[in-house]
Amino acid sequence: MEPDATLTMELPPATIGRFAALFGQGVGIPTRTGIPLLALLCDQLGIARDYIDQRVQTFFINGRAVDQVEQIRVGDRDVIALSAAMPGLAGATLRKGGMFAGFRQTISYAGGSGQEKAPQQTVVTLKLFNLVARELAAQILHTGVWVKGPRLAEYLQQLDGNALTDSVTMKWNDQPRDPGSWERLPWPEGWVALRMEPLRE
Amino acid sequence: MDKILRINMSGANGPEIKTESLGAYAGLGGRAMTSTVVAQEVPPTCHALSAENKFVIAPGMLSGSAAAMSGRISVGCKSPLTGGIKEANSGGQPSQMLARLGYAAIILEGRPKDDSLYKVVINKDGVTINADNSLKMLGNYDTVQKLKTEFGDKIGCITIGPAGEMKLSAATVAFTDMEGLPTRHAGRGGVGAVLGAKGIKAIIIDDAGTRMREPKNPEKFKAANKAFVAGLRQHPVTGQGLPAYGTNVLTNVINEAGGYPTFNFKQGQFDGAAKISGEALAEMENTRGGDGSATHGCHRGCVIRCSGTFYDKNGRFVTKQPEYETVWAHGGNCGISDLDAIAEMDRLDDDFGLDTIEMGATIAVAMDAGLAQFGDAEAAIRLIKEIGQGTPLGRILGSGAAVTGKVFGVERVPVVKGQAMPAYDPRAVQGMGVTYATSTMGADHTAGYAVTANVLGVGGSVDALKPQGQVELSRNLQIATTAIDATGMCLFIAFAILDQPETFQALIDLINGFTGLSLTGDDVSDLGKKILSQERTFNAWAGLTAAHDRLPDYFKNEALAPHNVTFGVTDAELDEVFNF
Ligand code: SF4
């Protein structure tokens, strides 16, 4: 599975941080079905296992609250959402493996499509919320994510000020482009593989 | 806090002021004080707006001291919205100020003989009460501004807006914050209408010349306070998540879980959720800047600081940072995804003195009735303004979701005991539904908020995977919450206590260091049980039966997308909640 275009940018770390909100509605991650979810998160995306165990207290697959991450395999077009610990009774209820998990039994994750079917290429959606987005966004953008063309163009549009003129280099399909010219790029309807390099300060 | 201020508004020659010793109420604070006074002194069958009802204000047990998080204040009465007992609490400065002046409670009783509006002034020299009809129908902001011109900038104010004066069942009582603005509200249950029925527009508190309350055991108190603060700061929710994003951090997560009530509880996910999430709000506040924009406390002494300040795009103050429940009520529940519009509605609610949860739920019901389209922010703002103007439609809306549903013939009205449900659909988070159904307060998310049950040892051997387990947990949570409400501590301390037993111990040590008592976790739990029992008894005498401990039927019959779940806890199981 290939993206329709690639976009690589070199930006100051603070500007990369402003892309954390991109993860709120989710970004695409190309991967294979059937692999352990932890392999996707830790090996492919480089998230430390400790971080998953300790910081990520709230975990959803396809909108269902997860208690045991270890047992999950990636399913076709899964939506995976990660969040830090949340306040309130509702927050405690959604926490993985917490004593209030029974409060949301009807929306708990109970296995999915990744377990049985033959492995295949897929693009899953990864959502990161709150502190987890803030802390992981730069690292995952460095590894690379896929975003649909119109959505990425819209996201860049609403970044105010000179967020993008800070970009020292911008490459579209490996060809250098003027960072100020992003609006004129031939945005495809399909996936754009986006990668960000932190600019050394 | 060694005295009670009692004002009888029915006095033959006008209001009569009495200062009493604590008597049987000694040692009580916050919800323990308000609910005990109401249970002891108010006839349960009285009309909530009658002379027989009483309006009680009580600072928390540790208010006015150096204890962190101790500045919440409770108000209590018989509720015009639920018909049962009510405790609503708030941040703001008045709690600390009243406590330093030595008042453990203010009890307002009777009813004035004419329609004069009164202001009460409390300072170190005593208490005065005078009619001041120049305050009539002023919003909370103008009222406080006028009072500051008269009494100086350092006062704290407890006020009602036009909604309270009109005795509407969604009316709040406002408390001024650290900046002296009326942004903090005892919101739920129509408590503002009861203060309005007493003819009292404002209580002005001036604590000049008073000192911080001293602990009985200063060394123990100081060490416990230090450990308590350290515990709050090191926990990811109280030390990082809440300060960075406020309670609105929940929007994305509850939405992801499919438990975010949308379009008047018709579905569990809202397409516009990310736009009004805590993350989006924090980004907006940080970009716009201004004092206390993204992280701010609702009173001095808060070390979590889950609040903030909302400025418009030109940098002008609009309101405090809207909370999760407010953003949901005026946002997703009404299909609105514009944070500026939501902030404007929060400001209007605060100014007129209206409960944001009740108002959001009411407007969504009105939208279902065809009074406006879902997603139409301008129409929603117009409806709130009708209330401020006191039009007949405004008075209907200001009476809450249940009345509005009845008047306009809407079946889907998300209330329990007449009070609107907050921002968690009980079909997705069923344990929350148990609490909504059985709380003494009507549908209330804070009733079972304190997740301290396991630390208190009352979570025990519950199997939470069985409905019975949910019932037992809900019971234990309600006990624990009630106990924390009695201390006057902000409920958000509960998250740190859940995960860090040493922080819970620090809280107990803090109470003991201050009071000189030797309470244990069990004693705190017993206090919670005792308060709940007296609240239940009051409600039973007021005519609230098991039939009132139910969710509306449609939660059992209409499946909630995306998970297609219905509320599955049976009536028999609900009836077990208060079996202790
Ligand atoms: S944590 Fe929030 S609600 Fe609690 S006292 Fe602090 S600012 Fe107020």
**Could you tell me the CATH number of the domain that includes residue B168?**
3.60.9.10
All residues of chain A having their beta carbon less than 8 Å from the beta carbon of residue B254 are: 90, 94
According to the model, what pLDDT value does residue A152 have? 94
The ligand 1 atom nearest the CA atom of B184: 8
Backbone angles phi, psi at A8, to 5 degrees: -120, 130
Is residue B306 lining ligand 1, measured as CB closer than 6 Å? yes
Position B580 in a domain: no
The C-alpha atoms of residue B205 and residue B379 are separated, in whole angstroms, by 38
Element (H, E) at A159: none
Of B97, B126, B72, nearest to B211 by C-alpha is B97
Do B447 and B389 share a structural domain? no
Q: Do A106 and B274 touch (CB under 8 A)?
A: no
Do B178 and B53 share a structural domain? yes
Backbone angles phi, psi at B205, to 5 degrees: -120, 130
DSSP B333-362: GGT---HHHHHHHHHHHHHHTB-HHHHHHH
Q: How far is the CA of B74 from the centre of ligand 1 (A)?
A: 14
The minimum CA-CA distance between A173 and chain B, rounded to whole Å, is 30
All residues of chain A having their beta carbon less than 8 Å from the beta carbon of residue B280 are: 21, 24
CATH of the domain at B560: 1.10.599.10
Position B254 in a domain: no
The minimum CA-CA distance between A104 and chain B, rounded to whole Å, is 5
Element (H, E) at A126: strand A121-128
All residues of chain B having their beta carbon less than 8 Å from the beta carbon of residue A65 are: 257
Do B416 and B434 share a structural domain? no
Do B34 and B178 share a structural domain? yes
Residue pLDDT, tens place only, A16-47 = 888 998 999 999 999 999 999 999 999 999 99
Does the CB of A103 have a partner CB in chain B at under 8 Å? yes
Q: How far is the CA of B221 from the centre of ligand 1 (A)?
A: 21
Report whether A175 contacts A82 (CB < 8 A): no
- Residue of higher predicted confidence among B511 and A165: B511
The minimum CA-CA distance between A159 and chain B, rounded to whole Å, is 11
The C-alpha atoms of residue B503 and residue B409 are separated, in whole angstroms, by 50
Q: How far is the CA of A198 from the centre of ligand 1 (A)?
A: 37
Q: Is the peptide bond before B392 cis (omega within 30 degrees of 0)?
A: no
Do B392 and B468 share a structural domain? no
Do B483 and B510 share a structural domain? yes
Do B375 and B325 share a structural domain? yes
User: Could you say which of B393, B420, B447 is where a domain stops?
Assistant: B420
DSSP B263-325: TTTTBS--TTGGGGSHHHHHHHHHHH--TTSSSB-SSTT-SS--B-EEE-TTS-EEEEPPPHH
Q: Which domain holds residue B487?
A: 430-574
Do B391 and B304 share a structural domain? yes
Do B175 and B32 share a structural domain? yes
Q: What is the DSSP letter of A36?
A: B
Distance separating the N- and C-terminal Cα atoms of chain B = 32
Residue B47 has which token pair?
């009309």
Cβ-Cβ contacts under 8 Å between A and B: the total is: 154
Q: Do A21 and B274 touch (CB under 8 A)?
A: yes
Residue B424 has which token pair?
């968690």
Residue pLDDT, tens place only, B215-236 = 999 999 999 999 999 999 998 8
The C-alpha atoms of residue A75 and residue A34 are separated, in whole angstroms, by 6
Q: Do B236 and A84 touch (CB under 8 A)?
A: yes
Q: Do A21 and B424 touch (CB under 8 A)?
A: no
Q: Do B432 and A93 touch (CB under 8 A)?
A: yes
Element (H, E) at B40: helix B30-41
3-state secondary structure B381-430: HHHHHHHHHCCHHHHHHCCCHHHHHHHHCCCCCCEECCEECCCCCCCCCH
Does the CB of A14 have a partner CB in chain B at under 8 Å? no
Residue B440 has which token pair?
């003494």
Least confidently predicted of A65-74, A91-100, B67-76, B433-442:
A91-100
Residue B538 has which token pair?
């009051």
Does the CB of B122 have a partner CB in chain A at under 8 Å? no
The C-alpha atoms of residue B239 and residue B229 are separated, in whole angstroms, by 10
Torsion of CA A23, A28, A34, A38, to 10 degrees: -30
Element (H, E) at B258: none
Task: Count up the domains in chain B and report the number.
Answer: 3
Is residue B307 lining ligand 1, measured as CB closer than 6 Å? yes
The minimum CA-CA distance between A124 and chain B, rounded to whole Å, is 15
According to the model, what pLDDT value does residue A183 have? 84
Of B446, B425, B146, B57, nearest to B269 by C-alpha is B425
Q: How far is the CA of B242 from the centre of ligand 1 (A)?
A: 9
The C-alpha atoms of residue B342 and residue B339 are separated, in whole angstroms, by 5
Query: pLDDT below 70 — which residues of chain B?
Result: 445-480, 498, 579-580
The ligand 1 atom nearest the CA atom of B303: 6
Do B270 and B176 share a structural domain? no
Question: Burial letters for A71-97: b for 16+ Cβ neighbours within 10 Å, e otherwise?
Answer: ebbbbbebbbbbbbbbbbbbbbbbbbe
Do B404 and B386 share a structural domain? yes
Neighbour order of strands in the sheet with B103-109: B16-21, B3-8, B103-109, B55-59, B73-78, B85-90
Q: How far is the CA of B199 from the centre of ligand 1 (A)?
A: 30
Q: How far is the CA of A143 from the centre of ligand 1 (A)?
A: 38
- Cα B132 from chain centroid? 28
Does the CB of A110 have a partner CB in chain B at under 8 Å? no
Does the CB of B251 have a partner CB in chain A at under 8 Å? no
User: Could you say which of B205, B224, B247 is where a domain stops?
Assistant: B205
Distance separating the N- and C-terminal Cα atoms of chain A = 36
- B55-59 and B103-109: which strand pairing? antiparallel
Element (H, E) at B208: none
